[in-house]
A and B are shown apart, each in its own frame.
Chain A
Amino acid sequence: MTAEYKALANSWIMWAACLPGVAIVIYQAFLIFRKSKNDALRIGLNEKQVSSSIRSAAITSIGPCLVMITAMLALMMYDGAPFAWLRTNFIGSITYELQGAQFAADGIGIELGSSAMDANFLATACIVEAGGCVGWVIFSALFSDKMEVVNEKLAGGNMLAVPIIGTGALIGVYCSLTIDRVIPYGTQVYGVFAGALAMYLLTLYDRKVHKQWIKEWGLTICMIIGMIVCTVIDLMTGAL
């Protein structure tokens, strides 16, 4: 990245240009959060459930955000801090955005990260990375409120069956995501099993003691146990 490109990509003008996109994300989340919190008690939840939802969501979100830091720093090298900030907060996923930057560079015929990156590349990357992700927003805007029809059909018209079928669908999702980390074999497999075993034991313990902190912190604790197990294995095998 040349000094000229770095100055352009990190200019206050780019920060100002990227701000509206992030602002709409926060605004939407704020409106829905406020409505959800205000109506929660009227829909049958109690204060304890609302506050524990907030705490556990906050605690669980921090870990994955830390994972994104290293990938975001890579994206900042190609797109500059403002646009990387927009892309990770607005219809973004770190893995897709890095692909988007690569596709933009390939399209122009330059090497990503090289001194060939200039304003023309940044403009191209801005269009490609943004354009590649609008499909999700369009699908969501058109069909989110109609997904209940899909649920009804899957439940055979019996809405009381929805949680049972929903659980089956989620087991399918998480089995697929987890198997992707088990095959092919590597150190991460131990993290998968250590996290799973820790969750199993913690859940059995919670069924006896019924402690709220286990429900709020359990996911994070088990995740950290998995990470520690993998790191220890890497230390023992000399991989670290």
Chain B
Amino acid sequence: MNKEQEKVYKEEYLPYVIKVGKITSWISLPLIFIPALIVVLAFGARPDPGGVITGLIGLCSAMLAWYIVDPVTLYPILHIPGMYMTYLCGNSKEIRAPAATAALSSADVEAGTEQGTVVAGISIAISIFISVGTMTIVAILGNAILSILPDTVLHALNYLLPSLFGTMCMQRILLDPKSTFIILPAAVVLKLMSRAGLFKFLPFGGGYAQILLCVIVGVIVARNVHKDKIRHAGK
């Protein structure tokens, strides 16, 4: 990347994305409560205070750790533009991360670089147009869609995410097999520890511990396995 390109990235692109991301994110917060307000005003509903408090406590306590763990673990691929869009639209691991991964691979660009950031911005926006369009069709057509698809196809959809994650895992592994030699067994151990309930003592039940520790292990292993390369790059 030359100085001119870096200038465009740092002085034009990023400031714009950050400004748009922040403004639209803050504006979105009151918008999400409009349906509740309308149900109260238009239909005379009375939300149950006990129900609201119980429901919010239940849901928020289940999600609280993920508010931090999910963005922190996926930031390397989403980057700044992807973060704003992903945590406004949602479905971070199922749709946004795979779309960004595929785009980075097809453009032959590394995650975490300036070009990678722009590719992530483009790809996640595209994934949002696709998912909003698809969900809109589903919301309008409803059950008619399910009646068209053969049973075999509906059954196969149950295996889409496992197959997708296996594929994406191998894609990442092939980029750094040396690190994977250590990270993958560590992930197995962490999974078994999680299943044995060893993380339950952590705040909010520790359900997030496995993925967070896998990321920490990944970073530490990559730094150490490639320390010569990193040292050389710093000179």
Instruction: Write 17 A-B pairs (CB below 8 A) sorted by A numbering.
Output: A16-B38, A17-B34, A17-B38, A24-B24, A28-B25, A40-B122, A56-B102, A63-B164, A66-B157, A120-B45, A128-B52, A140-B21, A164-B226, A168-B219, A179-B191, A196-B167, A234-B155
User: Are A17's CB and B35's CB within 8 A?
Assistant: yes
Given contacts A28-B20, A39-B13, A93-B91, are A226 and B216 in contact (CB under 8 A)? no
User: Are A92's CB and B128's CB within 8 A?
Assistant: no
User: Are A26's CB and B234's CB within 8 A?
Assistant: no
In whole angstroms, what is the CA distance A151 to B83 when docked? 14
Q: List B contacts of A133 (CB < 8 A).
A: 32, 63, 90
Chain B 52-66, CB within 8 Å of chain A: the 1/0 string?
111110111011101
User: Are B159's CB and A32's CB within 8 A?
Assistant: no
| Residues of A in contact, count (CB < 8 Å) | 162
User: Are B152's CB and A53's CB within 8 A?
Assistant: no
Chain A 201-237, CB within 8 Å of chain B: the 1/0 string?
0010000000010011011001111111011001000
User: Are A29's CB and B35's CB within 8 A?
Assistant: no
Interface size class of B (residues with CB under 8 A): 35 or more
The 3 closest A-B pairs by CB, nearest first: A168-B222, A226-B163, A172-B218
User: Are A45's CB and B109's CB within 8 A?
Assistant: yes
How far apart are A233's CB and chain B's nearest CB, in angstroms?
Answer: 9
Q: List B contacts of A8 (CB < 8 A).
A: 39, 43
A106 at the interface (CB under 8 A from B): yes
Q: List B contacts of A228 (CB < 8 A).
A: 156
User: Are A144's CB and B53's CB within 8 A?
Assistant: no
